[in-house]
Amino acid sequence: MELGNGVAKNRILDAFYAILRNSIQESTLAPRIDEYAAAVTTPHPQGPAWTVGRAFAGFLSPNVDLQLMMSGSFVFASSRDVVSAVLRDASRLSAI
């Protein structure tokens, strides 16, 4: 089941991002959240894992570092599945 592009999807994502933003306000990720959000929404032929990996690498090195990019991409791709499952469950609950 996909969320689609409707109002319910936007409400679920807004709630998810609000919780996420609140939980990282005090963490070392706080200054990075906007750049990661931009990376996820920036179209790229290789998909969002590439843009997130590049953002991750940019925080750690001023040079383009392929190993850092791959590490960031791997972490994003592995956590994306978990987040998608949470959003699917939330979508099912909102339909009840």
Assigned domain for 85 exists: yes
Establish if 1 belongs to a structural domain: no
Q: How far apart are CA 51 and CA 43, in angstroms?
A: 8
Say which amino acid occupies 49.
A
pLDDT in tens, 57-87: 998 888 878 888 888 888 888 887 777 776 6
pLDDT confidence band for 91 (50 / 70 / 90): low
pLDDT of residue 2: 54
Range of the domain at 15: 7-94
95 half-sphere exposure, CB direction, 13 A CA radius: 11
- Tens digit of pLDDT for each residue in 6-32? 777 777 777 877 777 777 666 666 677
Whether residue 53 lies inside any domain: the answer is yes
Q: Are 70 and 57 in contact (CB under 8 A)?
A: no
Look up residue 74 and give its two tokens. Answer: 């791997």
Q: What's the pLDDT score for residue 95?
A: 56
Number of domains making up the chain:
1
Look at residue 27 and tell me if it is in a domain: yes
Q: Decide if 51 is inside a domain.
A: yes
